[in-house]
Amino acid sequence: MWPLIRQFLPYLRGVRTYLALGLVMMVLSSLLAGANIGLIYPFFEGVFGGASADPAPDKVQALGPSISQLGQDLSRSLHAAGGLREPAGQALDAFLGRHTRSTVLLLLCGLALGLATAKFFAFYLYRAFFVQVEQTMVRRLRDHLFTHLQDLSLDVVQRFRQGELISRVVNDVMVVRSLTVTKVADLASNLLQSLVYFVLALLVDWRLTLISVLVLAPVVGGFQYIGRKLRTYSRRAQEHMSRVSERLSENLQGYRVVQAFFAREREIQRFREATTSYFRRMRKLELVAGLSGPFGEFASMLVAVFMLWYGGRHVLNGEGMSGSAFLTFLAALLAMLHPLKITARTWNELQRGTGAGDRILELFKLRSSLALAEHPRPVEGLREGIELRHVSLSYDGKPALHDVSLTLRKGEMLALVGGSGSGKTTLANLVLRLIDPSQGQLLLDGRDIRELDLGGYRGLFGVVGQDTWLFQLSVAENVCYPRAVPDPGQVQEALGLANAEGFVREMGGPDSLVQEGGHNLSGGQRQRLAIARAVARHPQVLVFDEATSALDSESEQLVQAALERSVSERTALVIAHRLSTIIRADRIVCLKDGRIDGVGPHEELLRTSEEYRKLYDLQFSIQEEA
């Protein structure tokens, strides 16, 4: 567990002052708690026992000089070679014998109240400083984890379900907060309090204290066994919590489909399966965790009863310490057992947190599959074209593209067609460098794109994907994404090019808010805003991945016109199922099972590519029948 905690300590940099102040307040709080227990002896010895009567009037001393003398006596006892307990006890007895019991009672009550007040403020400040520490750690860890996810390649992120990633970033980070700060601080605080009470008990009677430690030894072994079980069960519970998050995320994103198919019973069943599985793991976890409380109570009672019997017998027989000293010892011992119980419970909770910590570290161990150059070369623009040279790509051992050689020339419109799973989107992802090929090269003007600056290379492109996603921002901010401050002229130009001015004006203008995912827009409106976003950055290459697939005939004509206007000045890579949208492309690439079946203009492919001819006949025969 400690090696795991050390992995998260760097996130505490910059808050060491708060950490140090919190530790000081923790130590002070523990010492003040021990001092309160130490008042039991003078209470019983000086007020209710010991000296049965007040000293003679001529023996009573002024309180100020008497306290000063007590300090001198205690100082001498600290330097005494024979030990501390007896000289300190004698100095305290002498002090109590110089005052009336009512004076001692008033003094001790005031001292107890002062110590309690000081402990209250010390404990509060200790918690306040550690709140700053833990919340800073949570923010930094979550930010770093999100940043790390942004640096991963597309194929790596797609290995995980969306709900699982959300669970790790949200839920697991909160558990790690307890693992690294909250629970560790509680563990240290309670251990320190136990140590203070232990030292106090040693000062009263070291023999009885060591006997109590021997009685406690088997209890520690029991807690270690419980802790190991909790670590295993906790990881399993966190994994099943991820599945609950996945079900919820999937349902909300596909809510329209669920309602349209009236699939509420099916979705409720799937969600209940996930929650039932999580329930079973949590039940097992909590049943084991529940042992720590009763086990600690039983151990405390066992030690208390044994020491009460053993020590009380010696006091009654007049062997050893006085009754006041025994009460002080017993109070220190019982006070020590309480933080020990909390320590054991905290230790078990730390074991539970290690499962979440392991899951977060698994994400940090992920590495992008993109090979980034140590000293990347700047991208100067597109002068000739982008070439794929003998490119092959496999996903989990399954081939997606095989020995593809192709050139996207500057200024041309290159279209990709083929059946589902033929490799069209995979090829576009390679061109965008969202993924790297398993074999072969991609070249920009003859230079391997792996040697180029990644941000500069992707800056050449404007992309409209098959699944349009818009952010919960204004229309203008979506169009100029990722710029934080939109340029009004740039927005108007892009909206005009995408034939989106009309519906944006009806919405209330470019400052109108787009709901998450664009749910307040039609499919065609979302697609046209996505096209506006693609052209707003003035890219040199436009990539349309089935950009017209969600449009009706009228919208398709508007987008087709916008596409043709934008392509007249730019290079374009267009993926389309509808062959009618790409017939006028300069060249068409027909893909089949990850291989190129034919390349050329429409008329040429009809003669040379059997696959293209089949797609053409199928689509246009359906249209004629319609």
| The pLDDT of residue 100 | 65
Averaged pLDDT for residues 181-199:
80
Q: Which tokens sit at 439?
A: 């074999």
| The pLDDT of residue 67 | 64
- Taking only the tens place, the pLDDT of each residue in 308-321 is 777 777 777 766 66
Closest CA to 16 of 133, 113, 189, 105: 133
- Taking only the tens place, the pLDDT of each residue in 47-87 is 555 544 566 565 555 656 666 665 665 566 555 544 555 56
| The pLDDT of residue 51 | 47
Share of residues in the chain with pLDDT > 70 (%): 77
**405 pLDDT exceeds 80?**
yes
Can you say whether residue 473 is alpha, beta or left, with left for phi > 0 and alpha for psi between -120 and 50 degrees?
beta
The rounded distance, in Å, linking the Cα atoms of 353 and 178 is 7
How does residue 446 score in pLDDT terms, banded at 50, 70 and 90?
Answer: very high
Closest CA to 440 of 465, 386, 404: 404
Domains, in order of start, for the chain: 2-54+100-365 (1.20.1560.10), 385-625 (3.40.50.300)
**251: which residues sit within 8 A by CB, 6+ positions away?**
258, 267, 271
| The pLDDT of residue 453 | 92
For residue 398, the Cα-to-chain-centroid distance in whole angstroms is: 33
| The pLDDT of residue 325 | 74
How does residue 44 score in pLDDT terms, banded at 50, 70 and 90?
Answer: low
Strand 385-395: give its sheet, edge to edge.
Answer: 398-409, 385-395, 439-444, 447-448
| The pLDDT of residue 377 | 92
How does residue 548 score in pLDDT terms, banded at 50, 70 and 90?
Answer: low
**555 pLDDT exceeds 70?**
no
The values of phi and psi at residue 13, to 5°, are: -65, 140
Averaged pLDDT for residues 523-552:
81
Closest CA to 537 of 470, 432, 463: 463
Closest CA to 289 of 240, 244, 231, 235: 231
The rounded distance, in Å, linking the Cα atoms of 159 and 138 is 25
Stated pTM of the model: 0.71
**592 pLDDT exceeds 50?**
yes
Q: What is the DSSP string of 202-219?
A: HHH-HHHHHHHHHHHHHH
The rounded distance, in Å, linking the Cα atoms of 67 and 71 is 6
**588 pLDDT exceeds 90?**
yes
In terms of Cβ atoms closer than 10 Å to its own Cβ (0-12, 13-18, 19+), residue 623 is: exposed
| Least confident interval from 34-38, 124-128, 436-440 | 34-38
| The pLDDT of residue 198 | 83
Q: What is the mean pLDDT of the chain?
A: 79
- Taking only the tens place, the pLDDT of each residue in 211-251 is 777 777 776 666 667 767 777 777 788 778 778 877 877 77
| The pLDDT of residue 81 | 47
Averaged pLDDT for residues 162-179:
80
**572 pLDDT exceeds 80?**
yes
User: How many other CB atoms are there within 10 angstroms of residue 561's CB atom?
Assistant: 12
- Taking only the tens place, the pLDDT of each residue in 367-376 is 888 888 889 9
**440 pLDDT exceeds 90?**
yes
- Taking only the tens place, the pLDDT of each residue in 454-475 is 989 999 998 887 777 888 889 9
| Least confident interval from 12-16, 47-51, 102-106, 221-225 | 47-51
Share of residues in the chain with pLDDT > 90 (%): 16
| The pLDDT of residue 136 | 85
- Taking only the tens place, the pLDDT of each residue in 495-519 is 988 888 888 999 999 999 988 778 7
For residue 55, the Cα-to-chain-centroid distance in whole angstroms is: 67
| The pLDDT of residue 600 | 92
**90 pLDDT exceeds 80?**
no
The values of phi and psi at residue 422, to 5°, are: -80, -15
| Least confident interval from 267-271, 326-330, 461-465, 567-571 | 567-571
- Amino acid occupying residue 213: V
Helix axes 523-536, 488-497, angle to 10 degrees: 130
**494: which residues sit within 8 A by CB, 6+ positions away?**
479, 532, 533, 535, 536
